[in-house]
Structure 1
């Protein structure tokens, strides 16, 4: 398996990735907010995603997005092809996209929303902590991205204070939340600087 920062050569996989995101959300009955092929293509071609492949097939995908003028970075859309699940690919992809986020935006807070226990564990291992929604970006465009989620009505009824997703946040050591310096556990992947990771 090869895990790379995305480039135009990975655009060939975008339709399959988009379809699997949609299918996975439908199967679970929970939200991965729907993203268009155009949106995902832009992420891939700008190098703001990570793509895992094996023997010419896509294995998995995740992308990054900045919010609040670069103060926050979200790692979003983590998906693994059903054929390659149960092999640790999600952990490797999440580690790589986290590394990409930290390299591109070293002072930004990194966050995610998830309903998946496995993703919560991966995030926890990377140093994320569960937080209330008010600790995340308040950028309207980010929350508008939830409109395609099956749980959007719940989010709005709760006035964006919580939903079925768990909010998780990584705060770099050089940052503060509510005036308190964040103390994060050492990240075992922070020194990994390669742009390609071969398994």
Structure 2
């Protein structure tokens, strides 16, 4: 399996990726924000995504988004093709997209919203901590992305203070939350050799 920063050569997979995002959300009954082919294509072309492939087939995908003028970064749309699940691909992809986020936006806080226990575990291993929603970006455009989620009504009834998703946040050492310097470790992938990303 190869895990690469995206480029235009990966556009051939965008339709399959989008369809699997939709199908997966339907099967689980939880929300993955629906994204258009155009939106995903732009992320891929600009190198703001990670694509895993094996023998010419797409294995998995994840992209980065920035909010609040680059103060926050989200790793979004993590998806693994059903054929390649249960092989650790999600962890490797998440590690690589986290590295991409930190390389491009070293001072940004990295956050995510998820209902998946596996993703929570991966995030925790990378140094994310569970937080309340007010610690996340308050960028309206981000929260508008939740409108496609089946749980959007719950989010709005709770005045965007909580929902069924768990909010998780990684704060770089040079950042502070509520005046307290983050004690989170530098992401562990830096201690691993790049060769571990290709298996």
Question: TM-score, normalising length from structure 2?
Answer: 0.97
> How far apart, CA to CA, are the structure 2 residues paired with 1:195 and 1:138?
37
* Displacement after TM superposition at 1:116 (Å): 0.1
RMSD: 1.4
> How far apart, CA to CA, are the structure 2 residues paired with 1:172 and 1:187?
9
Query: Which one has a larger percent helix, Structure 1 or Structure 2?
Result: 2
> How far apart, CA to CA, are the structure 2 residues paired with 1:172 and 1:90?
23
* 4+ aligned runs moved over 6 Å, structure 1: none
Deviations 1:51-97 (A, max 9, x none): 00000000000000000000000000000000000000000000000
Q: Is the 8 A contact 2:33 2:149 kept in 1?
A: yes
Question: TM-score, normalising length from structure 1?
Answer: 0.97
Count of matched residue pairs: 199
* Displacement after TM superposition at 1:193 (Å): 8.3
User: What 5-or-longer segments of structure 2 have no aligned partner?
Assistant: none
Q: Is the 8 A contact 2:74 2:111 kept in 1?
A: yes
> How far apart, CA to CA, are the structure 2 residues paired with 1:87 and 1:197?
13
Query: 1:75-90 counterparts in 2 under 5 A?
Result: 75-90=75-90
**Residue in 2 aligned with 1:18?**
18
Evaluate the alpha carbon distance shift between residue 196 and residue 18 of structure 1 in structure 2; reply closer, same or farther with a 3 A threshold.
farther
Deviations 1:83-133 (A, max 9, x none): 000000000000000000000000000000000000000000000000000
* Displacement after TM superposition at 1:198 (Å): 1.9
> How far apart, CA to CA, are the structure 1 residues paired with 2:191 and 2:65?
22
**Residue in 2 aligned with 1:50?**
50
> How far apart, CA to CA, are the structure 1 residues paired with 2:48 and 2:179?
30
Q: Is the 8 A contact 1:4 1:196 kept in 2?
A: no
Q: Is the 8 A contact 1:2 1:196 kept in 2?
A: no
Q: Is the 8 A contact 1:3 1:196 kept in 2?
A: no
